Structure 1
Amino acid sequence: MLDLSELFGEGWCVTLAPTEIVPMLERMGVGNAVLVDDGLERVSERLESGGEGAEVMILARELRDGWCLAIELEGTSGWVGMDREVLAELSACGRVAVSAFQDPNQIMMQVAVDGTPLCELDVIDGYFTRGQEAEGGEVESLLAAGFSRDGDPVGQAAQLDLAQRAVLALVAVTGVELEEAGFDGPWYAGLAAPVR
């Protein structure tokens, strides 16, 4: 299972939604996305220089079966993908959208379905922090992966490192496998206002 902490360190947010790149980035607040060969390097340079102004860079690319992936590495003021309204918009019209993030002291995952936030999962502790009573295939998939409504993780979730658990949760809900090679190459990139 992919470990996003090995790729990005202790600060990242990934969002998956079944949409096209430009609409996804627009819903995340990016106005003028451009295709760049070195998106991850550009974000790394921004982080090393302390950022460039009041905006954060978001990267996105198409995956298989109509899914798109967005990455944020600048989360000092919050993660756009974890904003409940943004995630709800990405899930509108009967879709499912998911987002997970890691800060140094927490790893959380959130699910929205058909324009409504469904549940939030504390990946470290392995249980739902919001939406414990939620029902549906998405919740059942998380429970089957070993996450809990109110206790420690079991099964596959209990056997993985913490950042790997976040990927397990994303895969359980979406069916989209994330692999390290999928993060290489060009990305669409643009700037968005940070979450307040």
Structure 2
Amino acid sequence: MIDLRPLYFGLEGGARLVRLDISGMYLVKGGVSGFWASLFWSAGLVLPLYVLLMLLRFDPQVHDGLRFLFSHGVIYSLAWLIFPVLMERITVFIDRRQYFLRFIIGYNWLGCFYNLFFLLVGLAQASHMISWEAASAISAGLMLAGLVWIGHLAKHALDIPYSAAVGIVVLDLFMGVMINLLSVSLLSN
């Protein structure tokens, strides 16, 4: 039987982190099993909306179906996996390795909400419920909120000064840009 407690407490913890309530970090399952649970459930909850958005954006006259599917699968996997790998090395470098799991578990649950919000805006725009301009404005606001959420979590979960938290936010933003560039390059030609 599937244990749904990590899902329930993860979503509750993530919702608190979205409200900048750091107590959400202590609700989620910890340790290595908590990391895998947060990655599995977060990526799994976001995946159906991601697939739906990709299907809405698929144009058979422009894209090869198999290449489109493979490229987005690679991009989706990298988007969930590359930041934890980098952060593990960074926490070793800044002597905060003991707080890595606490941070990355909170980051995954926060990322679940962050990505769901972005995908809902994308779906609303792709289905012409809102204009491209409105979707862009909402997305910009979400991006700013996401930077605040990640910085707040990094400061408290890793017990670092705000200047170091800003560095982690910049790294996350840089990784997002690199993933988008990879996406464009994989889907072009």
**TM-score relative to the length of structure 1:** 0.25
Report the structure, 1 or 2, having the larger strand content.
1
* Greater C-alpha radius of gyration: 2
Report the structure, 1 or 2, having the larger helix content.
2
**TM-score relative to the length of structure 2:** 0.26
